[in-house]
Amino acid sequence: MFFPDSFLASFFPTFLTTDYKRMQIFKYPDLILIEILHNMNYSEIFLMSFISKNMKKLVKSYQISRFDRIESIRYECYPNGQPLVYIHYKSSSERILKIEECDEEINDKFQLNISGKMIDFRYSDQYQCPVACCQPDDKVYVIKSLHDHFLDFFGDSVEYHFEAKYGWKSDYFIIPQLQNISICSIWYYRYGDMKSVENFFAWSPVFKRVYLFHEPHHQTENSFGPKSKLWQTDSIKIDQRNPDAPNVLHCFKGRQAFLRYGSGATFEIVDFVNRWKSGDVSRLEYLQIESNLVVEFSYDPVLNHIGVKQIDPEKTPPTHSVPKIHIEKDNIPNTDPITSHTYVVRQSDGRVASILVQGKKFYFGVWDKTEEEFLEMVE
Amino acid sequence: MSSTEQGTSSAAPAEPTTAPESAAAPEVPESFYYVHGKDKVVHKVSAGALQHSALIHGMISNLGYTEEQAKANPFPFENIDGDILQMVVDWCNQHKGKPTPPEDTNLPKQKEKLFDLVLAVNYLEIKELLTYCCKQVAMMVKGKSPEEIREIWMIPTDAEDEAAEKEAKKRAGKEAAGETAAAAGDAK
């Protein structure tokens, strides 16, 4: 049996009706576009999204499933004054943008319209990502524009982190006020920055997580005030080298606190536990304090001043551990377990908190259980 | 392996020459099929090589051709350039019965050829080759400025998109007006 050519041709629909020598990427079939974008890294895809409105729509529509993997976008401002933007996904991260001071001699610059603002860029082979070039004073403005672009792209589906490390030099102190930032980490070492940091917290919404590392010279001049929005943060981690006593324990109104001090702060701990027992500090579920003191030291004496109760030493106490509000790079999802025979009871509602002292570490874990319910868990 | 000859798809093609196959089990002779592109050059390709193409593989299964029928009825791909079809056939032959490597460095570097190859491969449903090609297309814009990307991928600017949209609306309006006028004329 032989078939005429026209018969065979009927099995092959004409798929190239346009002049495909002048093919635009937008005219590729969906499958091809998806496959091409799949082979691009995030920085390339984001660069594509800046090219035109239609390209942005295309990237958005074809990359939805890929963007679902993105957990957060992080802005890093380090002492070299050249902020970087990373995206995080499944315990991995990718640098997608860099911001640096403009060098007039660079010829291969190009301009992009980022959230309505024209910004100079160049491509960096060294960093393998686009670099936004700007004057030193424009860095905050550039970060804000980029952040607006990401907000438009992702909305609330990802978390936004701001991470800044500031040295002794004041030249590179960048602390932009960005919407929807939920997590921030700030390292700072010098006088004069507190006001900017305080303003940053005042302007921002309540954070899910704040990490502060600071070495102020004098606590009274540099601590955040008791009304600072910082204390409403859900989870706080403070690493303070200052030998003076911290005021965190007096002000914090959030749920989880991880503190490290250059002092023992025993008086503050006693005051804190007594306030907790009287019904203050109602939201707290976990507190961990570690002293940086190099001398021999223990929190054991604290137990003599807070009216602790003891579980029968022959019995096994229950272990307290709660999911961390923010999982750090170590990927440990829960707080350190507290298995202790020592506990205190809150007078207002009879709730119990386990207390564990291990040398320079003090742990305080609040149970959503009355003393009776708590003791039923003892084996 | 394949061979090519100049011919037309309407006439029965002359016997294409076949490169010697490596020593294979003689008791199961391999079946061959024939394809040609826009240039009418007929390529003889083994069924094993054609398995890469889901489209042709499906066709072969459905048609149930004998050797004579296959020879007399080469599959016509009139919209695929001859050199592009040659590339596809060569790739299918090279990768016949072999696991496909993670990279393929033999793909064309010229923009037009690669675009054509992508379309042809997509149409012929050769998944692995499509993956390589798309990777190559993505590589074309690596480290390029938006202007360069625009040029390579022919992406219009926002202004061009807006102008094109306006033009399309204008045209649609004129067409609608024309249809209305024609309908009114018919009614009279």
**Tokens of residue B92, six digits:** 């299918």
pLDDT at A18 over 80: no
* Chain A residues near residue B159 by CB distance under 8 angstroms: none
B133 → chain A, closest CA residue: A36
Model confidence at A16, pLDDT cuts 50, 70, 90, reads: very low
Q: At what angle do helices A30-38 and A53-62 cross, to 10 degrees?
A: 90
On chain A, the residues whose CB falls within 8 A of the CB of B137 are 36, 39
pLDDT digits (tens, 9 = 90+) for A158-207: 889 998 877 655 556 677 888 888 998 887 765 556 777 788 888 888 89
Q: Is the dihedral of CA A59, A64, A69, A70 positive or negative?
A: positive
Task: Name the nearest CA neighbour of A161 among A133, A179, A183, A139.
Answer: A183
State which residues of chain B have pLDDT below 50. Answer: 1-22
Chain B partners of A48 at a C-beta cutoff of 8 Å?
141, 149
Interface of B with A (CB under 8 A): 9-10, 59, 69, 72-73, 75-80, 112, 115-116, 118-119, 122-123, 130-131, 134-135, 137-139, 141-147, 149-150, 153-158, 161
CB-CB neighbors (< 8 A) of A1 in chain B: 69
Write down the pLDDT at residue B182.
79
pLDDT at res. B21 = 47
CA-nearest of B81, B67, B87, B63 to B13 is B67
CA–CA dist B19, B48 (Å, integer): 15
* 3-state SS, one letter per residue, for chain A: CCCCHHHHHCCCCCCCCCCHHHCCHHHCCHHHHHHHHHCCCHHHHHHHHHHCHHHHHHHHHHCHHHHCCEEEEEEEECCCCCCEEEEEECCEEEEEEEEEECCCCCCCCEEEEECCEEEEEEEECCCCEEEEEECHHHHHHHHHHHHHHHHHHHHHHCEEEEEEECCCCCCCCCCCCCCCEEEEEEEECCCCCHHHHHHHHHHCCCCCEEEEEECCCCHHHHCCCCCCHHHHCCEEEEEECCCCCCCHHHHCCCCEEEEEECCCCHHHHHHHHHHHHCCCCCCCCEEEEEECCCCCCCCHHHHHHCCCEECCCCCCCCEECCECCCCCCCCCCECCCEECCEEEECCCCCEEEEEEEECCEEEEEEEEEEHHHHHHCCC
Contact A2 B112 (CB under 8 A): no
Domains of chain B: 4-140 (3.30.710.10)
CA dihedral (A91, A95, A97, A98) in degrees, to 10, reads 120
A53 vs B9: CB contact, 8 Å cut-off?
A: no
The stretch A275-297 carries a mean pLDDT of 84
Residue B13, pLDDT score: 43
Inter-chain touch B116–A38, beta carbons under 8 Å? no
Pairwise CB contact (< 8 Å): A47 & B146: yes
Q: Are strands A181-188 and A209-214 parallel, antiparallel or unpaired?
A: parallel
The model's pLDDT over A105-124, given as tens digits with 9 standing for 90+, comes to: 667 788 888 888 888 888 88
State residue B62's pLDDT score: 72
Is residue A13 within 8 angstroms of chain B, CB to CB?
Answer: no
Contacts with B150 from chain A: Cβ below 8 Å: 51
The residues in A 24-43 lying below 8 A from B, measured between CB atoms, are 24-26, 28-29, 31-32, 35-40
Check B69 against A23: CB less than 8 A apart.
no
Is B78–A9 a contact, with Cβ atoms under 8 angstroms apart? yes
Q: What per-residue confidence (pLDDT) applies to A129? A: 87
Using an 8 Å Cβ cutoff, are B88 and B52 in contact? Answer: no
What span, in angstroms and rounded, lies between the C-alpha atoms of A369 and A354? 11
Please answer yes or no on whether A5 and B143 come within 8 Å at the CB atom.
no
d(CA A252, CA A230): 8
Scan for tokens 């937008």, then name that residue.
A26
d(CA B7, CA A363) in angstroms, rounded, equals: 86
Contact residues, chain A, for B10 at CB < 8 Å = 5
Q: What does the alpha-carbon distance between residue A226 and residue A88 come to, in Å, rounded to a whole number?
A: 34
Residues of B in contact with A121 (CB under 8 A): 145
Q: Residue A318 — pLDDT band, cuts 50, 70, 90? A: very high
* Of A87-96, A329-338, B55-64, highest mean pLDDT: A329-338
Residue A77's pLDDT is 84
Least CB–CB distance from A51: residue in B142, B143, B149? B149
A338-339 and A256-261 beta bridge pairing: unpaired
pLDDT (0 to 100) of residue A370: 93
Give A235 to chain B, closest Cα distance, Å. 40
Q: What is the pLDDT of residue A78?
A: 78
Residue A134 scores a pLDDT above 90: no
Using the structure block, give the residue that is written with the tokens 């009287």.
A278
A2, A28, A39: residue with CB nearest B138: A39
Cα A49 from chain centre: 25
Q: Which of B79, B137, B161 is the closest to A53 by Cβ?
A: B161
Which of A196, A201, A219, A221 has its CA nearest to residue A211?
Answer: A201
d(CA A174, CA A77): 7
Give every CB contact of residue B18 below 8 A, 6+ residues apart in sequence: B1, B2, B3, B32, B44
Tell me whether residues A108 and B145 touch, CB distance under 8 A: yes
Whole-number pLDDT of residue A356:
94
Name the residue in chain A with its Cα closest to that of B160: A52
Fill in the DSSP letter of residue B87.
Answer: H
Q: What is the mean pLDDT of residues A9-31?
A: 54
CA distances, A80 to each of A13, A86, A174, A315, A369 (Å): 59, 17, 11, 56, 50
Distance CA B181, CA B186 (A): 9
Global confidence as pTM: 0.75
Residues in A touching B153 (Cβ below 8 Å)? 24-25
Separation of alpha carbons A196 and A216, rounded Å: 14
Lowest mean pLDDT among A23-27, A89-93, A142-146, B77-81: A23-27
Write out pLDDT tens, residues A352-376.
Answer: 999 999 888 899 999 999 999 999 9
Contact list in B for residue A50 (CB cut-off 8 A) is 146
Whole-number average pLDDT of chain A: 81
> Which chain B residues contact residue A31 at CB under 8 A?
122, 130
| A258 band by pLDDT with thresholds 50, 70 and 90 | very high
CA distance B177 to chain A (A): 27
What is the arithmetic mean of pLDDT over A225-231?
85
